Structure 1
Amino acid sequence: MFDFRQLRYFIAVAEELSFTRAAQRLHLSQPPLSQQIQALEQDLGVRLLERDKRNVALTPPGRLFLDQARQILALADEARSQVAEAAAGYSGHLKLAYTVSVSFHPALPQTLLRLGQNAPNVRVWLSEMYTEPQFSAIRGGQLDVGFVRDVPLHEDDARALRLDVIDREPLLLALPEGHRLAGRQSVELGEVAGDPFVVQPRELAATLYDRLVRLAAKSGFHPVIRQHAQQINGLLALVAAGMGLALIPASMQVVKIPGVNYVPLADPDAYLLLAVASDADNPSPVVLQFLDTVAEAKAALGL
């Protein structure tokens, strides 16, 4: 069976119509070139070239085979390029999830933008998912990576997952307009010990719910929960309606709802983690390329 080297030799002779010029172009002596062309013709069982001491010409089968040889080498080069891209993580598929609150943080769009520039042949499948289900989905192979808001709570998850921290995002209090603390530079959580709160149900958003409970306990009280909202952005509408206060990540300040004021908390523990979770044993080049892109986005954002 002929090989790629023989095809390249044949194309050179066919284009030069001279064994001498083809040998010079290929940087080899003429006898081995002639031997390889003869071996190719014997393998195919046809004469590809008519030659005498002065002239070389393509036979009709030779003209047909020249087109086929060029196509074969082009396909081989394309296959080589695609394999190299896949090995470097520049092509393939990536299943990515993120919590709703992450959609307000600049790290998500910046990472996706840079990934599109660095690896345009990577197809990204996006889905919204809370943090704990993301850990399970990554371990089960339904997800490749996820933007999460907490560290794994279970020991098995902690051992099996890799966590790349992007940010420790400050938490703010969302206050209704006219609240006694609206307009302050910062507040202590203990100053609102008697105020009602609006939260997401714990079964949906345990991370933020538990952070509120822990911070309140640190300040010596247990928060009074007046109302629930399914989505984090829905909390702001309840705040504007005077239903209570809400604890939110600082990136949600971009949501401008009339009747809501945002005030930072003075407690150094008042932050929400933002990290990328992946399988610690996942050797996927696409995942590694994505994690490199996350690091680039983090550095560009000064985080």
Structure 2
Amino acid sequence: MFDFRQLRYFIAVAEELSFTRAAIRLHISQPPLSQQIQALERDLGVSLLERSKRKVALTEPGQVFLEQARQILAQAELARSRTAAVAAGHSGQLRLAYTVSVSFHPALPRALLRHRQAAPEVSIQLCEMYTEPQFAALLANEIDVGFVRDEPRHIQDARQLQLRVLDREPLLLALPSSHPLATREELRMADVADEAFVTQPRELAATLHDRLRKLAGEAGFQPRIVQQAQQINGLLALVAAGLGLALVPATMRVVHLAGVSYVPLADHSAHLLLAVASRIGDPSPVLAQFLATVEQSAAGPGG
């Protein structure tokens, strides 16, 4: 069976219609070139070239084989380049999950934009998912990477997952704009011990729910939760309605809702983790490329 070298040799002769010019183009001597073309013709059982002292011309089978030879080499180059792209993490698929609150943080769009520029052929499947379900999905190989808000709660999970911390985002209190404390430059949880709170259900958003209870406990009280909303941005509508205060990440400031004011918390523990989680030892080149992109975007201006 012919090989790629013989195909390249034949194409050069067919295009130059001269063994001498083809040999110069290929940087080889003429005798090996002639021998390879003769071997190719013997293998195919046809004459590809008409040779005379004055000229070289393609036979009819030679014209057909020239077109096929070009296609074979082009397909081989495509296979090589695509294989190299996958090995380098520049092609393939990435399944990425993120919590709703992360969609307001610049780390996610910044990483996605930079990765799209670095690896435009990678298909990214995005899905919203709370932190604890993300850990379960990672361990079940249902997603490849996740933007999470907490560390794994179980030791056996932590041993199989790795986290790259991107931010420890400050937490704010969202208050009705008519509230007497809404104009303060900062607050402590002790200042709102007697206030009503609105939260997400713990089974959906355990991280923020537990952080509220932790901060309140450190301030010496249990939060009085009077209403719940499924999504974090839904809490703000409840705040605007005057039903209570809400604990939210600082990037929620970008949500400008009439009747809602944001005041920073000065308590030491008033922050929320933002990290990228993935499986330890995952060999995926696409994942490695994405994690490198995340680190670059976090280290760059505004990171």
TM-score scaled to structure 1, two decimals? 0.98
Matched residues, number = 303
- Give, in whole Å, the separation in 2 of the partners of 1:241 and 1:155: 41
Q: Determine whether 1:157 maps to 2:138.
A: no
Taking every aligned residue pair, what percent have the same amino acid on both sides?
69
Deviation at 1:301, TM superposition (A): 4.9
- Give, in whole Å, the separation in 1 of the partners of 2:187 and 2:300: 30
Tell me the residue number matched to 1:98: 98
Tell me the residue number matched to 2:222: 222
Tell me the residue number matched to 2:120: 120
C-alpha deviations, 1:136-172, integer Å up to 9, x for none? 1011111011110001111111111111111111000
- Give, in whole Å, the separation in 2 of the partners of 1:26 and 1:199: 73
Gaps of 5+ in 2: none
Equivalent AA in structure 1 for residue 80 of structure 2: R
Q: Determine whether 1:198 maps to 2:166.
A: no
Tell me the residue number matched to 1:23: 23
Tell me the residue number matched to 2:274: 274
Given that 1:174 and 1:262 are in contact with CA atoms closer than 8 Å, whether structure 2 keeps it comes out as yes
3-state DSSP class of the match of 1:163? strand
Tell me the residue number matched to 1:210: 210
Equivalent AA in structure 2 for residue 164 of structure 1: R
RMSD: 0.9
Q: Compare 134-143 and 51-60 and name the one that shifted more.
A: 51-60
3-state DSSP class of the match of 1:31? helix
- Give, in whole Å, the separation in 1 of the partners of 2:296 and 2:197: 37
Tell me the residue number matched to 1:59: 59
Gaps of 5+ in 1: none
C-alpha deviations, 1:201-235, integer Å up to 9, x for none? 11110000111111111111111111111111010
3-state DSSP class of the match of 2:268? coil
- Give, in whole Å, the separation in 1 of the partners of 2:191 and 2:125: 44
- Give, in whole Å, the separation in 2 of the partners of 1:263 and 1:166: 23
Equivalent AA in structure 2 for residue 87 of structure 1: A
Tell me the residue number matched to 2:143: 143
Tell me the residue number matched to 1:81: 81
- Give, in whole Å, the separation in 2 of the partners of 1:182 and 1:53: 97
Given that 1:169 and 1:273 are in contact with CA atoms closer than 8 Å, whether structure 2 keeps it comes out as yes
Deviation at 1:104, TM superposition (A): 0.7
Tell me the residue number matched to 1:184: 184
Tell me the residue number matched to 2:295: 295
Tell me the residue number matched to 1:72: 72
- Give, in whole Å, the separation in 2 of the partners of 1:56 and 1:279: 61
3-state DSSP class of the match of 1:204? coil
Given that 1:104 and 1:251 are in contact with CA atoms closer than 8 Å, whether structure 2 keeps it comes out as yes
